């Protein structure tokens, strides 16, 4: 299982982030909190998603979790970064396939659409599921994500 996870949220995702962070630490993970640091001040989700995505791209973090109201905006921003494969998951089934098939390294969650206890199940699946591997049929598709991107995904 992963050892280091970065987590970030905007104001809408702050409350769910404050539930997930100590729970992840109880599981023995090193958790790097990139903000937001309060839920009362309106902040812009792209700022937090970009910081986490840069850390994934540069190898600073093994995996990341981004939380906003729906998870959609965070996923859109994070996926603009090369080597980042962010998946907005609403179920543990989609979290499993995001890892197995897409080698997703960032999970986005929507605090307004996923209850905290179910979010824990999604996160657990995301962190424990391994990618099917470079010999799997999925690898050529993952390779195309970079190859078909502008500048070869760089």
**Boundaries of every domain in the chain:** 4-153
138 is catalytic: no
Q: Cα separation of 54 and 60, whole Å?
A: 8
Sheet with 63-68: strands ordered across: 30-33, 4-9, 63-68, 106-110, 86-88
For residue range 79-125, list pLDDT tens digits in order.
999 999 999 999 999 999 999 999 999 999 999 999 999 999 999 99
| 4-153 under CATH 3.40.190.10, yes or no | no
Q: What is the token pair recorded at 11? A: 């104001």
pTM exceeds cut of 0.85:
yes
11 is catalytic: no
For residue range 35-74, list pLDDT tens digits in order.
999 999 999 999 999 999 999 999 999 999 999 999 999 9
152: left (phi over 0), alpha (psi -120 to 50) or beta: left
Q: Which residues of 108-130 are buried (b: 16+ CB within 10 A; e: fewer)?
A: bbbbeebeeeebbebbbbbbebe
pLDDT (0 to 100) of residue 146? 81
Q: What is the token pair recorded at 91? A: 């179920």
HSE (CB half, 13 Å, CA atoms) of 140? 1
């Amino acid at each position: 299982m992963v050892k280091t996870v970065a987590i970030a949220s905007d104001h809408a995702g702050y409350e769910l982030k404050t539930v997930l962070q100590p729970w992840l630490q109880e599981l023995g993970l090193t958790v790097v909190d990139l903000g937001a640091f309060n839920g009362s001040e309106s902040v812009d989700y792209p700022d937090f998603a970009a910081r986490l995505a840069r850390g994934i791209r540069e190898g600073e973090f093994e995996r990341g979790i981004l939380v906003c109201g729906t998870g959609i905006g965070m996923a859109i921003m994070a996926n603009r970064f090369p080597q980042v494969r962010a998946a907005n998951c609403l179920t543990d089934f989609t979290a499993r396939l995001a890892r197995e098939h897409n080698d997703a390294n960032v999970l986005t969650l929507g605090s307004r659409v996923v209850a905290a206890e179910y979010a824990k199940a999604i996160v657990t699946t995301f962190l424990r599921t391994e990618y099917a591997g470079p010999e799997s049929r999925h690898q050529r598709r993952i390779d195309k994500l970079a190859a078909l991107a502008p500048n070869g995904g760089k």
